[in-house]
Structure 1
Amino acid sequence: MRRIRRTAGSLLCICLLLLNTGCWDNRDINHRSLPLVMGIAYHENLYQIVLQIPEPLESGISLKILTQTGKTINQAVDKISARMESSVDLLHLKVILVEKEYAQLGLSDSITTFMRSREISPKALVVICDEKLDTFFEHVKVSMAPKGTTLYDSFEKNAGWNPQMALTRIWQVYRSIHSYTRDVAIPVYKSGKSGTIDYTGSAIIKNGRMVGQITPEETLLFNSVNGLGTQGKIEVMNNASVLILSNSTRHRSRLVHNIPYLDIELTLKVSIVETKGTPTTKLIKDELQEVLLQRFEHLFDKILASKADILGVGQYFRNKLPRSELSHWRTDYLPRMKVKLKVNPVIQNEGNLKLS
Structure 2
Amino acid sequence: MAAKEGNHMNVRIIRTMTLALCMSILLAGCWDTKDINKQYLPVVMGVGKGKSEKYRVILQIPNALGKTQILDKEAKSISKAIDLIRTDSEKSIELVHLRLLLIDREIAQQGIGNIINFAVRANDISIKGLVGIVDGNFEKTLYHQISPTPEISSYDFFSEEAGWTPNQSIVRIWEAYQGQKSYSEDMAVPMLKNGDKTLFTFKGTAVMREDRMVGTLNEDETLLFNLFKGKYTGGTIEVAQNTSVLIENAEIKHHTKWSEKGPSIQTDVLLNVVVLESPEGKANALIEKEMLEQLSRRFEETVKKIHFLKSDVLGIGLIFRPQLTEENLKEWKSNWFLKLEQKINVRINVLNEIYFKENEPAHLNQGRLLK
Letter paired with 1:35: P
Query: Are 1:47 and 2:50 an aligned pair?
Result: no
For 2:236, the aligned partner's letter is: K
Aligned residue among 333, 348, 351 for 2:351: 348
State how far apart, in whole Å, the 1-side matches of 2:10 and 2:296 are: 85
SS in 1 for 2:140: helix
Deviations 1:78-136 (A, max 9, x none): 22222222111111111111111111111111111111222111111101111232211
Matches within 5 A, 1:117-156: 117-138=122-143, 140-141=144-145, 143-147=146-150, 149-156=152-159
1:284 equivalent among 287, 292, 295: 287
Indicate conservation of the 8 Å contact 2:47/2:58, yes or no: yes
- Within 1, Cα distance between the matches of 2:56 and 2:129? 19
1:40 maps to amino acid: V
Name the stretch that deviates more: 110-119 or 144-153.
144-153
Q: Is the 8 A contact 1:93 1:120 kept in 2?
A: yes
Is residue 144–residue 150 contact of structure 1 (8 Å, CA) maintained in 2? no
Distance 1:19 1:46 in 2: 47
Aligned to 1:265: 268
C-alpha contact (below 8 Å) 1:81/1:87 kept by paired residues: yes
**What is the DSSP-based 3-state SS (H/G/I as helix, E as strand, rest coil) of the residue aligned with 1:93?**
coil
Cα pair 1:52 1:63 within 8 Å, conserved = yes
After superposition, where does 1:23-102 map in structure 2 within 5 Å? 23-43=30-50, 45-56=53-64, 60-102=65-107
Match of 2:224 in 1: 221
Q: 1:105 and 2:113 equivalent?
A: no
Please give the alpha-carbon distance, in whole angstroms, between the structure 1 residues aligned to 2:18 and 2:263: 68
Structure with greater Cα Rg: 2
Q: May I ask how many residue pairs the two structures share in their alignment? A: 350
The code of the aligned residue for 1:266 comes to V
Q: CA RMSD in A?
A: 2.4
The answer as to whether partners of 2:132 and 2:189 remain within 8 angstroms in 1 is yes
Q: Mind listing any 5+ residue stretches in structure 1 that lack a counterpart?
A: none
Instruction: Give the residue type in structure 2 aligned to 1:289.
Output: L
Structure 1 counterpart SS, 2:31: coil
In structure 2, the residue matched to 1:178 is 181
- CA-CA distance at 1:10 after TM superposition: 5.8
Runs of 5+ consecutive residues of structure 2 not aligned to the other structure:
360-371
Q: Does 2:251 match 1:248?
A: yes
| Partners of 1:72 and 1:9 in 2: CA distance | 55
Residue identity (%) = 32
Instruction: Indicate if the aligned counterparts of 2:238 and 2:244 stay in contact, CA closer than 8 A.
Output: yes
Partners of 1:41 and 1:99 within 8 A in 2: yes
How far did residue 277 of structure 1 move? 6.0
Distance 2:284 2:113 in 1: 49
Give the 3 Å change call, closer, same or farther, for CA 33–250 of structure 1 in structure 2: same
Q: C-alpha distance in 2, partners of 1:13/1:254?
A: 72
- Tell me, yes or no, if the aligned pair for 2:187 and 2:210 is still in contact at 8 Å: no
CA distance 1:214–1:17, change in 2 (3 Å): same
How far the C-alpha of 1:345 sits from its partner, in A, is 1.2
1:235 aligns with 2:238: yes
Residue 302 in 1 paired to residue 305 in 2?
Answer: yes
Change (3 A) 1:325 1:191: same
1:319 paired to 2:322: yes
Greater CA drift, 95-104 or 155-164: 155-164
Seen in structure 2, the aligned counterparts of structure 1 residues 144 and 166 have a Cα distance that, compared at 3 Å, is farther
Bigger shift: residues 201-210 or 21-30 = 21-30
Higher strand share: 1
- In the alignment, structure 1 residue 275 sits paired with structure 2 residue 281: no
Write the deviation string for residues 195-234 of structure 1: whole angstroms up to 9, x where unpaired: 5532111000221211110010010011011011332423
2:239 and 2:287 in contact (8 A); partners too: no
Amino acid at match of 2:244: S
Residue 184 of structure 1, CA deviation: 1.3
Distance across 2 between alignment mates of 1:327 and 1:245: 38
- SS of alignment partner, residue 322 of structure 2: coil
CA offsets 1:47-79 (integer angstroms, 9 cap, x no match): 1111110122xxx33210111112222221122
- 1:327 and 1:42 mapped to 2: Cα distance? 33
